[in-house]
Amino acid sequence: MQIPLNRFDEYIDDTILKRGLAYFRKGKVHEPEKTGPGEYEAVVEGTEDYTVRLVVANEVVTEHVCSCPYDMGPVCKHVAAVLFFLQQDTLDLKKKPSKKGTAGVKKTAKRKTVAKRIDEMLDNIGHDELKQFVREQAAVNIQFRNLLLASFAVHDPDESKGFYEKQLKSIIRSATDRYGLIDWSTSNRVGETVNEFLRLAKKQLDGNNHTSTIYICTAVMEQMVDALQSSDDSDGSIGNCIYTACDMLFSIAESRPQETIRKLLLDYCHEAAEKKIYSGWDWHIEMLRLAALLVITDDEIERLTGDLDKEQRTGYDSEETQSIKYGLIVKTKRQKEAEAYLEANLGNPKLRRIAIQLAIEKGDYGKAAGIAGDGVIYDRKDRPGLVVEWYDWLLKIAQVRGDREQILQYARKLFMENFRHEQDYYAILKQQVEPGMWSGYVEDLIREITGNKRSWYARDQIAGIYIREGWLDRLLRLVKASPDLKTLEKYESALAGEYPAELVRLYASAVVEYLKTNVGRNHYQHACRYLRRMIKLGGREKTSELVALFRAEYSQRKALMEELNSL
């Protein structure tokens, strides 16, 4: 989870925030040490001393890892504590001095990075001493042993996919419980361990050692697909390993590899398809797509075409195999056959898209519009999302033609009826309407939206117009008509510049109403989140009044009192 550093409190569970803040205020966070560009490491005192590592790029925390065993959510209290430490000046926080560690060190003091200290240590350690350390660690640490064996297997003349499979199977066995299952937290650790193999594969890929890359990636894909059958992979740790490995195989295919590598990878694709190694998963089709990148000879193309013809032609798989087959026809430069294949399979949205593009490239705009218009009719009943795309193509064709009437027709339709915009339809309309007519045109749009009772997003659409036109007074009136917390938060950024005090008052009223009908710690944390927003808007005094009011009115709500203490 990526976390903006100056808004980290909006991305972390309130309970975790509260505990992290308590750790910071008690001085349990040692001053973070910079270990590399944008990389920080800090020790946080707890039941044990835990190490937190952060990577920050452009004021966004892109990676965060803690050595604690917490696995109930994406961020633990130790990470939160370090974030409070990094933002203490911005948040005007105070902390107790740490009893140990480096909490008192001035930020301006120059210190060696961890990488520098390790380099110096390695320079001073004897070769035999280092080898003995490696032996001892490999004997007692299975994860270290597997990583060591995998990291240097590339130097073994007998290196094979089977070697890496053996290491991966060991990882899966150690993660499987007595019922043969891998739970959520364990699957996360499996993913982290397997990522070490993938980093090794990337290193081999960067060094053009494609054989080792293929061995590692195919082993990872097969073993992780097996693991998925009995894993709770709700956070995608294991699945992401397969995607990463598959992407590296595509990178090899796209790099025009040596003939031996090309055949090795192509043979694997055929094996995976014939044995249905990835049957039931997207990666089955990906192997066929990968093979299409690799085939060169007529015999290879014929064999792959046969594999595609054997595939069950239903739904998504059917559309994907049709697209791959079309690509093979194009690859053999059979132009007439390719055109005929497109015409016969326009029900496939990928092929309809290609047909429209080809017609536009040839300047046959009438044909392009006809194909897009037929798509509207064909997909109207079952695939409304595609209907939007075909209308967007009709708009693009009108734009190429310079047909102002049709541009207005399609842009208005897409703006009024579609909340997922492929283009900025509002801007297109504004460009086409005469400046002197624009104000009246916009008011007409607003009246039409207001009268459209089927539009569940009408208010948001109107609010968007007010923001685009800079009509913030009208936006404020719209928000006041339904000043719930969610609405206020949604339009806060647009209104905060001109109406911060008004927003504070609206938030205050909304929080008061919210606490009248909502009880329980989760609701109290939710209310306090908006009290913090009031403070950021400059409403500290009003927030203090509310806190005093809540302490007096809800003194019996112990959990609320505790949450108010955390403000």
Q: What is the 3-state secondary structure (H, E, C) of 11-30?
A: CCCHHHHHHHHHHHHCCCEC
pLDDT at residue 13, as a whole number: 85
What is the SS3 assignment for 43? Answer: strand
CA distance 394 to 372: 6
What pTM does this model have?
0.66
Of 115-119, 200-204, 437-441, minimum mean pLDDT range: 115-119
Four-point Cα dihedral 216, 217, 218, 221, nearest 10: 120
pLDDT for 146 beyond 70: no
On average, the pLDDT of the chain sits at: 89
More confident residue, 1 or 475: 475
What average pLDDT does range 193-221 have in this prediction?
93
Beta strands in 269-375 (DSSP E): none
Q: For residue 541, give the amino acid letter.
A: E
Given a contact cutoff of 8 angstroms between Cβ atoms, the answer to whether 47 and 53 are in contact is no
pLDDT at residue 112, as a whole number: 55
Given a contact cutoff of 8 angstroms between Cβ atoms, the answer to whether 285 and 320 are in contact is yes
CA distance 450 to 462: 8
pLDDT at residue 490, as a whole number: 94
Best CA proximity match to 511, nearest among 493, 538, 486, 474: 486
Pair of tokens at residue 154? 């590339």
Q: Which residues 6+ apart lie within 8 Å of 310 measured at CB?
A: none
pLDDT at residue 109, as a whole number: 43
Sheet containing 60-66, strands listed edge to edge, beginning at the edge strand earlier in sequence: 3-4, 60-66, 49-57, 39-45, 33-36
Highest mean pLDDT among 44-53, 330-339, 359-368: 359-368
Instruction: Please give the distance of CA 98 from its chain centroid, rounded to a whole number.
Output: 37
Pair of tokens at residue 530? 């908006």
pLDDT at residue 108, as a whole number: 38
**pLDDT over 90 percentage in the chain:** 60
pLDDT for 457 beyond 90: no
Please report, for residues 224, 338, 427, the alpha-carbon distance to residue 306 in angstroms, rounded to integers and kept in the order given.
28, 17, 49
Of 89-93, 196-200, 419-423, minimum mean pLDDT range: 419-423
Best CA proximity match to 445, nearest among 422, 426, 419: 426
Whether the CA torsion 324, 326, 331, 332 is positive or negative: it is positive
pLDDT at residue 410, as a whole number: 96
Given a contact cutoff of 8 angstroms between Cβ atoms, the answer to whether 489 and 473 are in contact is no
Per-residue pLDDT tens for 259-318? Answer: 999 999 999 999 999 999 998 899 999 999 999 999 999 999 999 998 898 886 667 788
pLDDT at residue 96, as a whole number: 60
What is the SS3 assignment for 34? Answer: strand
CA distance 11 to 555: 29
Per-residue pLDDT tens for 524-548? Answer: 999 999 998 999 899 999 999 999 9
Q: For residue 37, give the amino acid letter.
A: P
pLDDT at residue 101, as a whole number: 46
Tokens 């001053």 appear where?
A: 31
**33 DSSP β-pair partners:** 41
What average pLDDT does range 430-446 have in this prediction?
96
Of 2-16, 63-77, 368-382, 549-563, minimum mean pLDDT range: 63-77
What average pLDDT does range 175-204 have in this prediction?
89
For 414-437, letters b (16+ CB in 10 Å) and e give bbeebeeeeeebbebbbebbeeee
Which residue pairs, CB below 8 angstroms and at least 24 apart, start in 164-171? 164/197, 164/215, 164/216, 164/219, 164/220, 165/219, 165/222, 165/223, 167/197, 168/194, 168/197, 168/219, 168/220, 168/223, 168/224, 169/223, 170/142, 170/146, 171/143, 171/146
End-to-end CA distance of the chain: give it in Å, rounded.
Answer: 25
CA distance 530 to 188: 33
What is the SS3 assignment for 516? Answer: helix
Of 9-18, 371-380, 462-471, 518-527, minimum mean pLDDT range: 9-18
Given a contact cutoff of 8 angstroms between Cβ atoms, the answer to whether 298 and 255 are in contact is no
Given a contact cutoff of 8 angstroms between Cβ atoms, the answer to whether 148 and 134 are in contact is yes
CA distance 48 to 523: 32
pLDDT for 110 beyond 50: no
Given a contact cutoff of 8 angstroms between Cβ atoms, the answer to whether 331 and 300 are in contact is no
pLDDT for 472 beyond 90: yes
